Homo-oligomer: A and B are copies of this chain.
Amino acid sequence: MTGPRYTDIVAALPADVPFVGPEGMERDQGFPFAARIGANENNFGPSPRAAEAMARAASDVWKYADATNLELRVALAARMGCGPDQVIVGSGIDGLLGNLVRMVVAPGDAVVTTDGAYPTFNYHVNGFGGVLHKVPFRADDREDPDVLLARAAETGAKLVYLSNPDNPMGSHHPAAAVRDMVDRMPEGTLMILDEAYVEFAPEGTAPEIDPEDPRVIRFRTFSKAYGMAGARVGYGVGARDLIRTFDKVRDHFGMNRPAQAGAVAALGDDAWLDRVRAEVAAARARIGTIARANGLAPLPSATNFVTVDCGRDGTFARAVLKALLARGIFVRMPFSAPQDRCIRLSCGTSPELDALEAALPEALAEARGAETV
């Protein structure tokens, strides 16, 4: 008896699991983290109104969600200044990226992104047999619109990915630079503008884009500023034809019903959003202070995390990361050089940053000791 006959694409995919979450790491190490500041979650939590709405909806969970997600799409359209038929709701930006890649990328098709940018996007492109062309970050640790555009033109890419603000570096481009990139897209290339962190960015980061512009789709999420990563609610804004095409492939009854009620409630609580922004700004500042006090260089951040330059190479930064993990501080770091000279610290609560502050000097000493051995 033999097993299933997998497709050639799936048979060739790597079998190792690329995404290890903090729960898995806690199990492996045998103790819980004192600071959960590695996944860019929003440790200040969801709006109490959103939490209440989800709790209320729990007893209604016997009903499938509205397959059109209309209530949420109407609320989002009002917020985004577009029509509900220009909004697609999905299971986080991750889920929507999976749908979009499937819609556009056939085996062998070219896709352009930045080396070290969002790995889940690459996972989807590889998963559908696309060919990733990676360009380097700029010297200032920003994604590089000029080089992305040039590579897209050169490869005939179907998709180009830009996150603004950027993860994992925390850098951002002003709206005009993004706007300019849209206007220079090669014919037939779709730009994915991932704005997962945009609510944390300075005023003037999000460009004006006509939703009917066929050259770009913008993605946002309730996972970051709205503190609902575990709810799985993301959305895309784009041209009606593109939005309708998601209906050809998406899981129509795939959204969690309480999560949608929570998202609608969250949109109605701007005061909480403002409060989260203030907490995040304060935590960013404190992470910067802690880093500098330890001789490290925090990079400017337009997000809810601070990427900290450890001042040496990737080997050293990985040693710092490892020493922090061993001390109960869950953090992550960029994958590719030279960005892997850094570690990435999410904006935790005060007790979590206390734990970071206590652990960092020891972790650095250990990493420095390891290096001189």
Contacts and interface: CB of A to CB of B under 8 A. Distances in A.
B6 A104 contact: yes
B62 A46 contact: yes
A62 to B, nearest CB: 4
A249 B249 CA distance: 15
A61 B249 contact: no
Interface stretch (A240-248, A277-285, A333-341, A351-359): A240-248
Contacts of A27: 70
Given A94-B253, A230-B256, A104 B5 contact: yes
Interface residues of A, number: 94
A251 B92 CA distance: 10
A262 B61 contact: yes
A6 B230 CA distance: 31
Nearest to A68: B24
Contacts of A42: 62
A17 B252 contact: yes
A10 B249 contact: yes
Given A66-B23, A229-B63, A91 B251 contact: yes
B61 A248 contact: no
A310 interface: no
A326 interface: no
A188 B231 CA distance: 38
10 contacts: A1-B213, A3-B242, A10-B104, A41-B63, A44-B62, A45-B59, A51-B58, A60-B230, A94-B251, A95-B251
